[in-house]
Amino acid sequence: MSEAESRKPVVLVEGHWQFAHLISLFEYTPSMMQEVSFRRFGDLDEMRRLLDTADDADRIIAVVRRVDHPDDIEQTQPPVWLREDISVIRVPAESAGHLFWPVAGTDTRSVAEPLYPNGRYGFSDHHAEALAPRAGESDDRLYQAYLGESSVELAAAQPRLAHTLAFMRRLDSVCDIAFAEHFERTLSDVKYFTGPVTGAGPLFAWLANCVLGCLAAPVGWDTKRLETLREAVRYRTIGFRGNAAHEFPVHPVVAASFGLSWAQNARFRWGRNLWTHREAMLRAIRWEPWLP
């Protein structure tokens, strides 16, 4: 280990799916990795072992933790054994994507298969499954039947949004980073999620920006250095797809209800395929195989 490497502060990051992409962004930003080293941990026991036994334990300055629920004391409060000189950065574990796919995953045909270990069509729903006996009908007739069956259930978008934002604000209230207000202002124009619980590039860009702000004080960055690092990481987020190997198609009623500019008349990536909502749902109704 070089002398510079041996002096770098260390940040422990909880092994959550959001944070895996966050660390990837940081590790592919050379100027960032010259400043800080990151270590992932799976649970509190592993975090304690790192603090007790790691060679660089004395250089650990901060811990980044996820918070799934505002009433979870273990997540919202630092462990009693944590050193007082270590900052805790509590980040809301965002899964507001369910707003845009409220019935996805309710198709009971979606089970593990050799080519599709996570199910053939994770975005499919019970409306598509119910129409399977009519698979031989024309595309137009079948898709219109799907829209008719599903649109009523998906129409209550605004109450779902209000309920979700209320929970997000509660979550923000016990965290060091807040997402609810930003999400509410920008959800129509920015694609933060590719599925109910999977994030897109802009989610990780926002997350990286906020975490860097929280790290400024413990690391010792002044405003100029912080903005330089933020800009370097922001550059790395250009084209960053996050969990975008599979993008759930957005129902046109949902896209219209929320005014989603990024979903209207869009194509969605599913493996090597790019499908409109219509194309994706017709395939799901007929349970057609696709090329992974």
Nearest-Å Rg of the Cα atoms of the chain is 22
Domain positions in the chain are 3-93+201-236, 96-197+244-292
pLDDT value at 4 more than 70: no
> Which CATH number applies to 3-93+201-236?
3.40.50
Q: Would you state the pLDDT for residue 243?
A: 60
Measured CA angle at 89 (ends 88, 90), to 5 deg: 110
pLDDT in tens, 247-271: 999 999 999 999 999 999 999 999 8
pLDDT value at 2 more than 70: no
Pairing of strands 60-67, 193-195: unpaired
**How confident is the model over 153-177, as a mean pLDDT?**
93
- Residue 166 has which token pair? 């209320």
Q: Would you state the pLDDT for residue 63?
A: 96
Q: Would you state the pLDDT for residue 88?
A: 96
pLDDT value at 9 more than 60: yes
The CB density around residue 104, as the number of other CB atoms within 10 Å, is: 20
SS3 annotation, 33-48: HCCCEEEEECCHHHHH
Highest-confidence range of 24-28, 141-145, 232-236, by mean pLDDT? Answer: 141-145
pLDDT value at 214 more than 90: yes
φ/ψ bin of 177: left (φ > 0), alpha (ψ from -120 to 50), beta (otherwise): beta
pLDDT value at 3 more than 70: no
Q: Would you state the pLDDT for residue 20?
A: 83
- Residue 85 has which token pair? 């000189």
pLDDT value at 86 more than 90: yes
